[in-house]
């Protein structure tokens, strides 16, 4: 068993004072030596954190003890080390950017547990719709799924014409951990789709509980792993190297910070081209040193996890 855990979670629930909650939650993560990204909003909580197994267990216990998060589910993965280098706990307007005029606490697609989802895949009346960004589904998606050429969920309304002819079908939406589908499925219902479902817990939970069958490629994640294996049954690489076209599921961020393109790059091209997606990117005077991973954390002098908390405290004091 690996010593660290990676927790992925979200919960739509009213938080009356997001700023106060953010302060308390940041301190909780500091005390438990957790790193990651957490978003707090009046509509709920969304996060991905990593830490030692015992610290993560304590974190889950404390969060679940709060009645507001009684229904929250953690997706738990094992890892050799932290998957983040910093801790950010931020207050935002939404826990996932969408701008969609919906409230998933009032209406959303029917949740399908991984086993139910797997069974429904055999229904010829079912259509899978990927609600992730183009760079995410380019490296991995379910067989036969419809994908959209969109950068983020805010663009979903622009793609409704592409599936308008499927309103009589059983639509199953899916994403990485389930959070985007809460609003995306609600929006489809609002647009006149009647039989709308969502994969509860997303791709990650399906991989953990059902072995990831029929998910091709890897699942893009928002930490320093970049992409992770999901399918332990019938895996297939579907992405090609951005440079040479050779099949590869190695995802990188371009070493040019001005570009930062999310692309698949084979190991040979990664080293040959210094982790860049195009020759022009090599000329970037701020090019980052490529270490074979293609993951780059913003450099902050003398950074410690406490720094973000203290900076926030200072900002609040100045505003007062």
Tell me how many degrees the CA angle 108-145-120 measures, rounded to the nearest 5.
Answer: 65
Question: 129-150 pLDDT, tens per residue?
Answer: 999 999 999 999 999 999 999 9
- Give residue limits of the domains in the chain: 4-95, 110-217, 239-295
Q: Which residues are catalytic?
A: 175
CA distance 155 to 123: 29
What CATH number matches the domain at 4-95, 2.40.110.10, 2.40.37.10, 3.30.70.100, 3.30.70.1560? 3.30.70.100
Mean pLDDT across the chain: 94
Neighbour order of strands in the sheet with 4-12: 75-79, 4-12, 44-52, 35-41, 87-91
**R_g of the chain computed on alpha carbons:** 20
Q: Is the dihedral of CA 299, 25, 17, 68 positive or negative?
A: positive
Q: What are phi and psi of 43, to 5 degrees?
A: -90, -5
Residue 13, helix vs strand vs coil:
coil
| Residue 228 to residue 249: CA distance in whole angstroms | 9
Mean pLDDT (whole number) for 174-196? 98
CA triple 57-7-294, angle to 5 deg: 135
At 275, list the tokens.
Answer: 């982790």
- Residue 42: partners with Cβ closer than 8 Å, 6 or more residues away: 14, 15, 16, 18
Least confident of 273-277, 278-282, 301-305: 301-305
DSSP, res 96: S
- Fold agreement between 4-95 and 110-217: no
CATH of domain 110-217: 3.40.250.10
pLDDT tens digits, residue range 148-162?
Answer: 999 999 999 999 999
The C-alpha atoms of residue 246 and residue 274 are separated, in whole angstroms, by 17
Q: In this predicted structure, what is the pLDDT of residue 303? A: 58
pTM for this entry: 0.91
């Amino acid at each position: 068993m690996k010593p660290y855990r990676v927790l992925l979670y979200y919960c739509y629930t009213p938080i009356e004072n997001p700023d106060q909650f953010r302060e308390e939650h940041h301190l909780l993560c500091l005390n438990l030596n957790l790193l990651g990204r957490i978003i707090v909003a009046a509509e709920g909580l969304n996060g991905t954190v990593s830490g030692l197994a015992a610290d993560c267990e304590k974190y889950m216990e404390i969060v679940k003890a709060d009645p507001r998060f009684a229904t929250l589910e953690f997706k738990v993965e094992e890892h050799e080390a932290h998957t983040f280098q910093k801790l950010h706990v931020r207050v935002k307007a939404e826990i996932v950017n969408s701008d969609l005029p919906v409230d998933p606490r009032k209406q959303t697609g029917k949740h399908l547990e991984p086993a139910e989802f797997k069974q429904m895949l055999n229904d010829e009346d079912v259509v899978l719709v990927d609600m992730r960004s183009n760079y995410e589904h380019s490296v991995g998606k379910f067989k036969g799924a419809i994908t959209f050429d969109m950068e983020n969920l805010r663009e979903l309304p622009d793609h409704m014409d592409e599936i308008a002819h499927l309103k009589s079908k059983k639509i199953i939406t899916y994403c990485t951990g389930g959070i985007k589908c809460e609003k995306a499925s609600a929006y489809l219902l609002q647009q006149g789709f009647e039989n709308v479902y969502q994969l509860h817990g997303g791709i990650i939970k399906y991989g953990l509980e059902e072995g990831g069958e029929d998910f091709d490629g890897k699942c893009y994640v928002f930490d320093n792993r970049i992409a992770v294996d999901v399918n332990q049954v019938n895996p297939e690489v579907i992405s090609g190297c951005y440079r040479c076209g050779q099949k590869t599921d190695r995802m990188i961020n371009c070493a040019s910070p001005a570009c930062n393109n999310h692309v698949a790059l084979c190991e040979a091209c990664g080293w040959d081209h210094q982790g860049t997606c195009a020759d022009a990117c090599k000329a970037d005077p701020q090019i980052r040193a490529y270490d074979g991973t293609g993951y780059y954390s913003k450099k902050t002098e003398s950074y410690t996890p406490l720094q973000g908390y203290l900076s926030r405290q200072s900002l609040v004091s100045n505003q007062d």
